[in-house]
């Protein structure tokens, strides 16, 4: 039983670190595209107006 608890704790520790990393990466990816999309959308109309 004690061994099982130790293994479970170790597994949780490792698993807890992985999801944390993934969550941070997901947030970064979400922030990136959103900012890029905003810039592209702003540049698109500006470019169109400049062309006209």
- Residue 41's domain spans which residues? 1-52
What is the token pair recorded at 12?
Answer: 């949780």
Q: What is the pLDDT along the chain (52 residues), one digit of tens a residue?
A: 555 555 555 545 455 555 555 555 555 555 555 555 555 555 656 655 565 5
The count of structural domains within the chain is: 1
Q: What is the pLDDT of residue 29?
A: 54
DSSP the chain: -HHHHHHHHHHHHHHHHHHHHHHHHHHHHHHHHHHHHHHHHHHHHHHHHHH-
Q: Output the pTM of the full model.
A: 0.14
């Amino acid at each position: 039983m004690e061994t099982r608890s130790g293994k479970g704790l170790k597994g949780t520790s490792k698993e807890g670190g992985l999801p944390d990393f993934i969550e941070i990466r997901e947030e970064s990816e979400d922030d990136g595209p959103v900012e890029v999309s905003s810039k592209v959308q702003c540049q698109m109309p500006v470019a169109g107006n400049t062309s006209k």
